[in-house]
Amino acid sequence: MTKKITISLPDELADEAQASGNASAYIAAALRERRRVQGDLAIMADLWGPGWQDGITDDDSARAARLMGGDAKADAA
């Protein structure tokens, strides 16, 4: 079942969604990904307790972003 809604997005996000060819599917995938990430963060909090992310440095975050972006070769060394 689907439900039609109207949303407002900043120009750059609206352009990105429209460029995807199917804005509804694009936004649905983004919301599902956000839900997945939030679930993963909750699992980590259950495993390691509150504040587990306090030890993550900016370098760690940058490395993770590169790995998620497919630039694993730069971090393999």
pLDDT tens digits for 3-51? 999 999 999 999 999 999 999 999 999 999 999 989 998 998 899 888 8
C-alpha distance from residue 54 to each of 11, 25, 31, 43, 57 (Å):
34, 34, 26, 16, 8
Mean pLDDT confidence for 52-69: 87
Q: Domain coordinates of the chain in residue numbers?
A: 20-67
The DSSP 8-state label assigned to residue 7 in this structure reads -
Whether the pTM exceeds 0.85: the reply is no
Please, what sign has the CA dihedral across residues 70, 72, 74, 75?
positive
Q: Using pLDDT thresholds of 50, 70 and 90, give the confidence band for residue 52.
A: confident
Q: What angle, 0 to 180 degrees and rounded to 10, lies between the N-to-C axes of helices 11-19 and 23-48?
A: 110
Distance CA 75, CA 68 (A): 11
**Amino acid 51: pLDDT:** 85
**Amino acid 77: pLDDT:** 45
**Amino acid 53: pLDDT:** 84
